[in-house]
Structure 1
């Protein structure tokens, strides 16, 4: 005995019609495109001078600032070797003034700030402002204790410059 095909096909057509109608929504002449959204990882949209430098690339410069800050906390005058002469002139009043002026600067910083400097780390640096330079903002420094206020030798930002194959603090 053979069943007529009509009673079986009709319910299938009723179920398929909404699906076939939905296909018409996707065949418009003008395709639907989602709005353009900036993604933070898209390197084409980041100013290379303000971009964070990869950790391995910035390590030598960051290490200079780390040693300088920790050396200031310890009162080690060898940190003066990390300064370019122009910065030493600005910070200590004379080229060569770091060796004689470090103790006075440490007194101005105070015990609480010196204690904070003993636990400071320099986790990141940014490119610029010039070629062969990197910048570390005070806010980018990490502290084991409460961070001190920027003052004196603790600038709002430190500029590190590559001079003769070595990184030195320029501003």
Structure 2
């Protein structure tokens, strides 16, 4: 009986040896999912500025993707001045989003569903961030600029949030 327990313990030793407190990393690094198109920090030498601009780029990303699907929650990412210019006044995004979306071609709406915001230019003092329309990345054919798809988007920090200001 003791011999069987001893043999069983010996067969388990190789398995238990791998469970030690070694410094070996056995799990691969986490990577984004292939279908995930959210803006991710760049791994190149410019990674530090891109990490700092991620919240601003994410605000523009959520706004554009919200416009693509007609979600009025996208209006929360607009500064009053931008809302006045595009929708005719502060607070009019909620009621005017459908009207403004109707002016976009179906191809533009499809393109907005796949848009990403990979980079932005930080303004003086780091308070503003500018994304040119040419810098947006598209999954397929790009949207046509005009209307609410400005030639450039200025993102401005408003307290702890970033908003599309121009």
- State the TM-score, normalized to the length of structure 2: 0.69
- The Cα of 1:106 is off from its aligned counterpart by 0.7
Q: Which residue of 2 aligns with 1:151?
A: 146
In structure 1, C-alpha distance between the alignment counterparts of 2:136 and 2:126, rounded to whole Å: 22
Alignment of 1:129-168 (within 5 A): 131-168=126-163
Counterpart among 48, 53, 60 of residue 58 in structure 1: 53
Task: Mark the runs of 5 or more structure 2 residues left unpaired by the alignment.
Answer: 1-45
Task: Mark the runs of 5 or more structure 1 residues left unpaired by the alignment.
Answer: 1-50
Q: How many residues align?
A: 121
3-state DSSP of counterpart to 1:149: coil
1:120 aligns with 2:115: yes
Distance of aligned partners of 1:128 and 1:52 in 2 relative to their CA distance in 1, 3 Å threshold: farther
- The Cα of 1:130 is off from its aligned counterpart by 6.7
3-state DSSP of counterpart to 1:58: helix
Larger displacement relative to structure 2 (125-134 or 58-67): 125-134
1:52 and 1:126 in contact (8 A); partners too: no
When the two chains are superposed, the root-mean-square deviation of aligned CA atoms in Å is 1.7
4+ runs of 1 displaced by more than 3 Å?
Answer: none
Q: Which residue of 1 aligns with 2:94?
A: 99
1:76 aligns with 2:71: yes
- The Cα of 1:95 is off from its aligned counterpart by 0.8
